[in-house]
Structure 1
Amino acid sequence: MPEVHAAQSPNLNAAQTAGPSTARNAGRLLGLDGMRAVAVTAVLAFHLLPGVLPGGFLGVDLFFVISGFLITTLLLREHARSGRIDLVDFWRRRARRLLPAIGLLVVVTASAALAIGGDALHKLGWQVLGTATFSYNWLAIADGNSYFDSTSPELLRNLWSLAVEEQFYLAWPLVLLALLVVRRRWVRVALVAAAAAASAVAMGLLVDPADPTRVYFGTDTHSFGLTIGIIVALLMGGWPDAVGRWPRAVRPLLMPAASVAIMGIVAAFVWLDGDALFAYRGGLVAVSLLTALVLAAAVAPGSALGRALEWAPFRWIGTRSYGLYLWHWPVYVLLLDALPTWQGAEFMWQLAALSLAITVVAAELSYRFVEQPVRRLGFRATLSAYRRAWDAPRSRIAAAAITAVVAAAGTATVVAIALDPGTSSAQSQIARGQAALDDTASSGPRGGDAQRDDGSEAGAGEAGAGSTSPVDRADSAALPSGDQITAIGDSVMLAVVPQLQAQFPGIRVDAVVSRQMRQAPELLQQEKDAGTLRDTIVVGLGTNGSIGMDTLEQVREIAGPERRIVLVNVQAPRGWTPEVNAALSEFAQRYRNVELANWRDAIAPRLDLLARDQIHAGGDAAGAVYASALRDALQRLALLPPVLDRHDYWLGDLPQ
């Protein structure tokens, strides 16, 4: 979440706002706006162009480091100047900066959600509660929401990071007061460094590879960026205001280290996926440390990097980064609901451009007419000006119009919360699929391992369900029955379980929300070790991220030459979809016992059958299309002639 800009205000005392080792320019910290601009641009690219910048989510970690540094610098300067920290004044300034923009965002987007209807209203009540109480991240964790779940894109999901920062604003000044009792600066730095290390270690230990939301949202596990920024402020707090008087060990390393750090951050933006386990076991920490190096170099007196980051476009974006961050995600979600036919990958850039245009306009209007007036005048003075407007005939109409708009938006927000549908359209279908799996499990052996018509058990060791022996050649031309199929998938497969069970009675389905293709080898190996892996394997993964050929090769190696594999391709408005589908198609063409179920092309003429996210089935008709695409793939496999060995070709046994 973009840091507050109190230190950027030209009418603040320079001694209060400039860090100990920063260039003073009308009370501004040079370079910070440029760093904010880079961070918010990365986040916007990550959300508005899914898959184009896989590591764009790391922009949030840049903001965390900037926040920790800037807030600590302000507090240290105030303490050095007056010998005290006015906590009430600090919290009041934070409220002036944050609350007006948030309030405007909530009522406007909730009103728009009410007008559009549908999934945008999903769980709006607890989202507003989390926003109002600065606890969005913890409420999301308690509710079991996944940051990486595309089935229910909450309207205000991006405010999780704002909640983390707001909790920091509330707690850190109190902790700093206690820390200032410690006279030695190195001890202070060591204590904060220990807290940063504890947070980073906790993230690495507690991360769930299937869904890292808990450690990503948690203030305890994702506060190392803030503490690293604090360390920079504590270290620089005793350094002079002339870079030539800085410690000799620091001066020659400053710009080279910053240059390497910039390259590292850019590389992370491009290559570090949010679903990579490394991101939570060192990756995010590394990016935070690199950001600290860039930050130190940027705010150094006379820094060339700081001057470069003062480029006018950077400054414009940086000063409005808070509004840009607030608005971009709700605008995008609302457009997804309002324009369902634009959710295909071919419309990704158009949708992103429209979202960005609306975001920029909304952020600018909020900045000029809401954020700046309240920040400049304060809540009381702003309210007094509003009351005076009613007394002047010329401004009375404007005051009445503002009152009417605010009242209407507030009422619409309450109604929108009341009309929460409970579940999104995609989640409703997923719940049906899960219920179907639960019914199957409760009525007999898991996945349809029931008695066959001839009375034999379709379990391990048979030529049917759990066999590890080759398929009998006499039966190879027949379409496999359900009790010969193991299917693993993500939420897309889970949403069509009833149709799969109807088309292939006895099919064994293992589907989970947010599952990645990289989990397929482990899942299949577990089934194989248990003796329950069947002769035909269906893999419906790829919706939630990119895939690698090495993963597919592992799947085929585990399956072995005796089993057949069907890969289901992807229909999703995500940047990685074409790459995923191309990889699946290439792999299916490479091997004789691998076939492609073309779900993407099968559903393309009937996207209206999908849920509003344009990913999951919206009803039985879409599920039937999915099952039919799978049946066609199985039929193509069944029609292949059997593989003949040398004896079938009369080689080696020719008559004399």
Structure 2
Amino acid sequence: MVTSASSLPQPAARIHYAGLDGLRALAVAGVLVYHLFPGALPGGFIGVDVFFVISGFLITSLLMREHHTQGRISLSGFWTRRARRIIPALVLVVTASTTIALVIGGDVLVRIGRQILGAATFSYNWVEITTGGSYFDALSPEMFRTLWSLAVEEQFYIVWPLLLLALLLLPSRWLRAGVLVAASIGSALWMAHLFAPGADATRVYYGTDTHAFGLLIGAALAVLLEGRLGAGLPRSNGRATRVTFDVAGTIALVGVGALAFSLGDGDDFTYRGGLALASLLTVIVIAAAIRPRSVLGSRLDAGALRWLGRRSYGVYLWHWPVFTLTLAVSGSTATQAPPVTASLVAIVITLAASELSFRFVETPVRTRGFRDCARALTRAVRTSIPRAAVSIGIVAVALVLVGSTGTAMAVSPQSSSVEQLIANAQKSSQTKTAPPKTPAKSTVTGENITAVGDSVMLAAAPALEDSLPGIDIDASVSRSMYTAPGILEDLEQQGRLRSTVIIGLGTNGPVNESTLDEIVEIIGPERHLILVNAYAPRDWIEGVNAELDSFAAARRTSVIADWSDAIDPRATELLAADRIHPGYEGGTVYAEAIMRSLQVLADLPPAVTEQYGYNLPVVR
């Protein structure tokens, strides 16, 4: 006889921890703003780290209470409950989103098979790492990119109960907590060690080993409270103690908010202590909020926050696929600077889909189990015609979703239109095929020029090489200005930094004067600097160009290559669908803007020794 899900060993009675729903709500709200309104909350991605800490605490407290009350931990029961919680919404999001993507077609289907493989095996993070995927790649906004964090959590859920059984062999809760704190510190240090400034951070951000510190420190708190969680935490000794915890928790929560506003996904500090600090502050918030009569916990449990927190899993799953599909329907691919209306529409659809999923899919399966839900569906077919029609309709929709998902996996392209454009440009550069338009001839060559840029320069590279023979180009996808100092230092050490340096890194994020000052300091007073301004449908571009103009105007040997004004009249004609990346002919416009700036430098009066203490190099 088949054992029903309801006969599985039951865990200790569930306990509601005050404030955790509200903390989840704040975390998922931060992630939504970070993704849907780029620039408004640059560090909103730390919401994922808040989730990790909460998950580590809750899962460990559940296992500890089961061990404390029943003297054992049922591994099969634990994993079954996790499957009930995770799988229904995940399957619905993946199949529904993929089906819609199949109808829309185009770039939203890029590498969908690889993504679904990662989602189905809870290994999305490692699949992307091993295949060279990038979380920060704006050229191909993959629909299920955000499932990397779910993969990290699921890997933790599989391994952690086994490790916890071993940890319980240690004689004291303080020693157990100490081991987990040490492991958390080790994970954070490993992230800091592997992080390479200026390089793509996907490996350290996605890695289970490098990003486990939040889960581990959350687990450490639960272990430290061993034996106290079953009956609730002991009441504080007095008002002063309660106030102290509330104040400490509030300050920690403000600290998390400050990090959300100040960290950047490319900042060195983010990976060398920033994410770990966010996790530590979250532990303090949890410890304060869950205490009896905590003011902080009651405030975080406010109605709207609690509603969103209870649906945070579905909101997190739905928001990115809905967002990318909304952009695709509107004909836009600018995920880093989407139209506000598209973002608002995506939020409305996400909340509606999450509520429906929570009410009609997640809750029934979580409370009744897979088998009981399937039996209820079967019984409905044999009762009345209306119920039978509904049941048959559900089965038919499920079959369509699964079939469409398989079809999408079979026909999905392996590269986006912009990636293909750049690849074609690089192939053209390597084979030197006849270009559609011959660049304007110039007496200026590229033998004394080093160019450092992002994917825009990468796309324009063939035209640049034809216009400025001998130029040394170091361009790559998803770079921003903050990476320039590290790249220039490496080029200097390699002996590749020539007398004129071109920097084209304004597309992927804001620019600040301190970074530009650092660039000037690295290249030294004897080199010219050309700053290529930016053109893209992104909200920071105007500020970037203003900052570059101001900086160049204050320095005689720095000039602007006005790519923005040069391409603007012909953007629709010469740029890809993202209105950012040029084809070969657009690349000639990019090259001509740089050549005009070179001529400006060549025309500078050479006699500046008295004022600046050096002679300008001559551009030939």
Structure 2 residue 606 is matched with structure 1 residue 615: no
Alignment match, 2:21: 33
Q: Please give the alpha-carbon distance, in whole angstroms, between the structure 2 residues aligned to 1:526 and 1:302.
A: 56
Alignment match, 2:104: 116
Of 332, 335, 339, the residue aligned with 2:330 is 339
Of 224, 228, 231, the residue aligned with 2:220 is 231
Of 532, 544, 553, the residue aligned with 1:589 is 553
> Could you tell me how far 1:595 is from its partner in structure 2?
2.2
Alignment match, 2:616: none
Cα gap change, 1:202/1:249 in structure 2, threshold over 3 Å: closer, same or farther?
farther
1:30-109 counterparts in 2 under 5 A?
30-109=18-97
Alignment match, 1:168: 156
Q: Over residues 210-243 of structure 1, what are the superposed CA-to-partner deviations in whole Å (9 max), with x where a residue is unaligned?
A: 1221111111111110011011111122447454
> Could you tell me how far 1:510 is from its partner in structure 2?
1.2
Cα gap change, 1:225/1:364 in structure 2, threshold over 3 Å: closer, same or farther?
same
Alignment match, 2:262: 271
Q: Please give the alpha-carbon distance, in whole angstroms, between the structure 2 residues aligned to 1:241 and 1:374.
A: 28
Gaps of 5+ in 2: 1-8, 433-441, 612-620
Q: Please give the alpha-carbon distance, in whole angstroms, between the structure 1 residues aligned to 2:249 and 2:90.
A: 34
Cα gap change, 1:314/1:419 in structure 2, threshold over 3 Å: closer, same or farther?
same
> Could you tell me how far 1:54 is from its partner in structure 2?
1.0
Q: Over residues 294-347 of structure 1, what are the superposed CA-to-partner deviations in whole Å (9 max), with x where a residue is unaligned?
A: 001111111111110111110111011111100111112223333235849885
Alignment match, 1:17: 14
Q: Over residues 258-316 of structure 1, what are the superposed CA-to-partner deviations in whole Å (9 max), with x where a residue is unaligned?
A: 12212211110000111111111111111111000000111111111111011111011
395-404 vs 209-218, greater mean Cα deviation: 395-404
1:238-637 counterparts in 2 under 5 A?
238-239=227-228, 241=232, 243-245=234-236, 253-341=244-332, 343=334, 348-391=339-382, 392-435=384-427, 480-528=444-492, 532-605=496-569, 606-607=571-572, 609-617=574-582, 619-637=583-601
Q: Please give the alpha-carbon distance, in whole angstroms, between the structure 2 residues aligned to 1:609 and 1:128.
A: 34
Matched to 2:561, the amino acid is: A
Alignment match, 2:3: none
Q: Please give the alpha-carbon distance, in whole angstroms, between the structure 1 residues aligned to 2:237 and 2:111.
A: 53
Checking the alignment, whether the CA contact within 8 Å between 1:345 and 1:572 is kept in structure 2 is no
358-367 vs 288-297, greater mean Cα deviation: 358-367
Matched to 1:355, the amino acid is: A
Structure 2 residue 207 is matched with structure 1 residue 215: no
Cα gap change, 1:408/1:233 in structure 2, threshold over 3 Å: closer, same or farther?
same
Checking the alignment, whether the CA contact within 8 Å between 2:11 and 2:62 is kept in structure 1 is no
Structure 2 residue 180 is matched with structure 1 residue 192: yes
1:509 aligns to what SS in structure 2? strand
Question: Identical aligned pairs, as a percentage?
Answer: 48
Q: Which has the larger radius of gyration?
A: 1
Q: Please give the alpha-carbon distance, in whole angstroms, between the structure 1 residues aligned to 2:289 and 2:573.
A: 51
TM-score, L = length of structure 2? 0.88
Checking the alignment, whether the CA contact within 8 Å between 1:297 and 1:306 is kept in structure 2 is yes
Cα gap change, 1:611/1:382 in structure 2, threshold over 3 Å: closer, same or farther?
farther
Cα gap change, 1:558/1:184 in structure 2, threshold over 3 Å: closer, same or farther?
closer
541-550 vs 100-109, greater mean Cα deviation: 541-550
> Could you tell me how far 1:364 is from its partner in structure 2?
1.4
Matched to 2:219, the amino acid is: I
Checking the alignment, whether the CA contact within 8 Å between 1:344 and 1:573 is kept in structure 2 is no
Matched to 1:337, the amino acid is: A
Checking the alignment, whether the CA contact within 8 Å between 1:244 and 1:251 is kept in structure 2 is no
1:482 aligns to what SS in structure 2? coil
> Could you tell me how far 1:248 is from its partner in structure 2?
12
2:339 aligns to what SS in structure 1? helix
Structure 2 residue 142 is matched with structure 1 residue 129: no
2:451 aligns to what SS in structure 1? strand
Gaps of 5+ in 1: 1-11, 19-27, 441-477, 648-656
Checking the alignment, whether the CA contact within 8 Å between 2:333 and 2:577 is kept in structure 1 is no
1:566 aligns to what SS in structure 2? strand
Cα gap change, 1:484/1:368 in structure 2, threshold over 3 Å: closer, same or farther?
same
Q: Please give the alpha-carbon distance, in whole angstroms, between the structure 1 residues aligned to 2:84 and 2:182.
A: 32
Checking the alignment, whether the CA contact within 8 Å between 2:99 and 2:405 is kept in structure 1 is yes
Cα gap change, 1:267/1:212 in structure 2, threshold over 3 Å: closer, same or farther?
same
Q: Please give the alpha-carbon distance, in whole angstroms, between the structure 2 residues aligned to 1:608 and 1:323.
A: 41
> Could you tell me how far 1:530 is from its partner in structure 2?
5.4
Checking the alignment, whether the CA contact within 8 Å between 1:258 and 1:294 is kept in structure 2 is yes
Checking the alignment, whether the CA contact within 8 Å between 2:426 and 2:462 is kept in structure 1 is no
Structure 2 residue 156 is matched with structure 1 residue 156: no
Q: Over residues 570-610 of structure 1, what are the superposed CA-to-partner deviations in whole Å (9 max), with x where a residue is unaligned?
A: 23344433332221122122223322223334434424643
Matched to 1:420, the amino acid is: S
Q: Please give the alpha-carbon distance, in whole angstroms, between the structure 2 residues aligned to 1:437 and 1:344.
A: 28
Alignment match, 2:439: none
1:481 aligns to what SS in structure 2? coil
Cα gap change, 1:560/1:494 in structure 2, threshold over 3 Å: closer, same or farther?
same
Matched to 1:128, the amino acid is: I
Cα gap change, 1:346/1:178 in structure 2, threshold over 3 Å: closer, same or farther?
closer
1:480 aligns to what SS in structure 2? coil
Checking the alignment, whether the CA contact within 8 Å between 2:68 and 2:227 is kept in structure 1 is no
Checking the alignment, whether the CA contact within 8 Å between 2:333 and 2:578 is kept in structure 1 is no
Q: Please give the alpha-carbon distance, in whole angstroms, between the structure 2 residues aligned to 1:381 and 1:614.
A: 52
Alignment match, 1:467: none
Aligned residues: 589
Q: Over residues 443-494 of structure 1, what are the superposed CA-to-partner deviations in whole Å (9 max), with x where a residue is unaligned?
A: xxxxxxxxxxxxxxxxxxxxxxxxxxxxxxxxxxx86323332211122211
Checking the alignment, whether the CA contact within 8 Å between 1:52 and 1:575 is kept in structure 2 is no
522-531 vs 509-518, greater mean Cα deviation: 522-531
Cα gap change, 1:236/1:604 in structure 2, threshold over 3 Å: closer, same or farther?
farther
Q: Please give the alpha-carbon distance, in whole angstroms, between the structure 2 residues aligned to 1:344 and 1:133.
A: 27
Matched to 1:524, the amino acid is: L
1:538 aligns to what SS in structure 2? strand
2:286 aligns to what SS in structure 1? helix
Q: Over residues 412-453 of structure 1, what are the superposed CA-to-partner deviations in whole Å (9 max), with x where a residue is unaligned?
A: 21121111211112222332344456669xxxxxxxxxxxxx
Q: Please give the alpha-carbon distance, in whole angstroms, between the structure 1 residues aligned to 2:293 and 2:468.
A: 71
Q: Please give the alpha-carbon distance, in whole angstroms, between the structure 2 residues aligned to 1:287 and 1:281.
A: 12
Q: Over residues 335-382 of structure 1, what are the superposed CA-to-partner deviations in whole Å (9 max), with x where a residue is unaligned?
A: 333323584988532222122112111111211221122222211111
Q: Please give the alpha-carbon distance, in whole angstroms, between the structure 1 residues aligned to 2:91 and 2:467.
A: 50
Q: Please give the alpha-carbon distance, in whole angstroms, between the structure 2 residues aligned to 1:560 and 1:77.
A: 63
Alignment match, 1:177: 165
